[in-house]
Amino acid sequence: MAGMAEKGTVKETIQIFARVKPTREETSKVYSVNNDEAAGASVEFVVPKDLGDGYVNNKLENYKFRFRRVFDQTAGQEEIFETIAQPVADRVLAGYNGTIFAYGQTNSGKTFTITGGARRYGDRGIIPRTLSYLYQHIIQDSTMVYTTHISYLEIYNNVCYDLLDRQLEACRLEDLPTVTIMHDSEQNIQLRNLSIQQSANEEEALNLLFLGDTHRMTAETLLNKASTRSHCIFTVYLCGRQPGSATVRRSKLHLVDLAGSERVNKMALGGQLLTEAKYINVSLHYLEQVIISLSESRAHIPYRNTLMTSVLRDSLGGNCMTTMISTISVDKTNLKESMSTCRFAQRVALIKNEAVLNEEEDPVLLIARLKRENQSLRDELAMVTGEPRQEQLTQDEIQKLEVQVKDFLDDTDPEATLALGTDLQKIHRCFTLLKTIVSGLRQQLNTIQEKLGRANGTGNELTPLSAVATAPDFIPLNRAVRGILTSEKEETEKTRDQDTTAQLNGPRLSMGKEEAFEIFMRDHEDRLTIEDNKAVLKQRYIEAKGLGVQVNKTRDSINELKKQLEMRRIQRADQDHPEEEEQDPVEAIILKQVEAEKKKFKSYIGDLKTLRTEIQHVQLLMERAKVKLQKDFKEWWSEETPGPQDSGAPSSLQTGRPSPNSKPSSPGRPGSGGHSLSYFPAHKQEPYSHLPSATDLRSFVPKIQTMQTPSGDRPASSHQRGGSVLELTPQLRDLSSIKPADYSIPLTGDSRIDDDILAFVRARQNLLQRRDTPQQ
Ligand code: ADP
Ligand code: MG
Nearest C-alpha to atom 16 of ligand 1 is from which residue? 117
Distance CA 321, CA 254 (A): 10
The pairing of strands 197-198 and 231-241 is unpaired
Res 85: pLDDT: 97
DSSP string of 24-89, one letter each residue:
SS--TTTEEEEEEETTEEEEEEEEETTTTTT---S-EEEEEEEESEEE-TT--HHHHIIIIIHHHH
How far does residue 563's CA lie from ligand 2's centre (Å)? 59
Helix/strand/coil for 46: strand
Distance CA 411, CA 427 (A): 19
Helix/strand/coil for 680: coil
Relative to the alpha carbon of 260, which ligand is closest?
1
Distance CA 359, CA 361 (A): 7
Q: Does ligand 1 lie within 6 Å of residue 22's CB atom?
A: yes
Task: Decide if 264 contacts 281 (C-beta within 8 A).
Answer: yes
Q: Report which secondary-structure segment, H or E, holds 219.
A: none
659 to 170, 256, 265, 334, 656: CA distances (angstroms): 25, 33, 33, 28, 9
Atom of ligand 1 nearest to the CA of 102: 3
Single-letter code of the amino acid located at 129: R
Res 422: pLDDT: 73
Helix/strand/coil for 323: strand
CA dihedral 423→428→429→435, nearest 10 degrees, is 150
Distance CA 538, CA 526 (A): 18
Task: Decide if 248 contacts 362 (C-beta within 8 A).
Answer: yes
Res 455: pLDDT: 65
How far does residue 82's CA lie from ligand 1's centre (Å)? 19
What value does the mean pLDDT take over residues 34-42? Answer: 87
How far does residue 102's CA lie from ligand 2's centre (Å)? 10
In whole numbers, what is the pLDDT of the chain averaged over residues? 74
How far does residue 448's CA lie from ligand 2's centre (Å)? 50
Mutate to test the pocket of ligand 1, among 112, 113, 325 (most ligand atoms within 8 A of CB): 112
Spatial CA neighbour of 636 closest among 481, 717, 487, 519: 519
| Terminal CA-CA length for the chain | 65
More confident residue, 475 or 282: 282
- Other beta carbons within 10 angstroms of residue 333's beta carbon come to 8
Task: Decide if 623 contacts 481 (C-beta within 8 A).
Answer: yes
Single-letter code of the amino acid located at 1: M
Atom of ligand 1 nearest to the CA of 104: 3
DSSP string of 357-415, one letter each residue:
--EEE-HHHHHHHHHHHHHHHHHHHHHHHPPPP-SPPPHHHHHHHHHHHHHHHH---TT
Least confident piece of the model among 50-54, 396-400, 737-741: 737-741
Spatial CA neighbour of 404 closest among 443, 439, 375: 375
Question: In this model, does residue 695 exceed pLDDT 60?
Answer: no
Distance CA 329, CA 31 (A): 11
What value does the mean pLDDT take over residues 591-604? Answer: 91
Q: Does ligand 1 lie within 6 Å of residue 77's CB atom?
A: no
**Half-sphere exposure of residue 269, counting CA atoms within 13 Å on the CB side?**
14
Local structure of residue 249 (DSSP, 8 states): E
Task: Decide if 256 contacts 309 (C-beta within 8 A).
Answer: no
Give the tens place of pLDDT for each residue, 340-396. Answer: 999 999 999 999 998 889 988 888 878 888 888 888 888 777 777 766 666 788 888
How far does residue 155's CA lie from ligand 2's centre (Å)? 13
Distance CA 422, CA 428 (A): 11
Q: Does ligand 1 lie within 6 Å of residue 227's CB atom?
A: no
Q: What angle do CA 692, 664, 269 make, to 5 degrees?
A: 150
Question: In this model, does residue 770 exceed pLDDT 70?
Answer: no
Residues in the chain, total = 776
Relative to the alpha carbon of 232, which ligand is closest?
2
Q: Does ligand 1 lie within 6 Å of residue 21's CB atom?
A: yes
Mutate to test the pocket of ligand 1, among 107, 124, 217, 341 (most ligand atoms within 8 A of CB): 107
Res 23: pLDDT: 94
Q: Does ligand 1 lie within 6 Å of residue 111's CB atom?
A: yes
Res 198: pLDDT: 95
Relative to the alpha carbon of 76, which ligand is closest?
1
How far does residue 746's CA lie from ligand 2's centre (Å)? 46
Question: In this model, does residue 58 exceed pLDDT 70?
Answer: no
Relative to the alpha carbon of 112, which ligand is closest?
1
Q: Does ligand 1 lie within 6 Å of residue 23's CB atom?
A: no
Atom of ligand 1 nearest to the CA of 112: 6
Task: Decide if 225 contacts 179 (C-beta within 8 A).
Answer: no
Question: 542: burial class by Cβ within 10 Å (0-12, 13-18, 19+)?
Answer: exposed
Q: Does ligand 1 lie within 6 Å of residue 66's CB atom?
A: no
Q: Does ligand 1 lie within 6 Å of residue 616's CB atom?
A: no
Nearest C-alpha to atom 5 of ligand 1 is from which residue? 109
Rounded to an integer, what is the distance from CA 637 to the centroid of its chain? Answer: 28
Question: In which band, very low, low, confident or very high, does the pLDDT at 325 lie, cut at 50, 70 and 90?
Answer: very high
How far does residue 348's CA lie from ligand 2's centre (Å)? 21
Q: What angle do CA 500, 505, 506 make, to 5 degrees?
A: 115
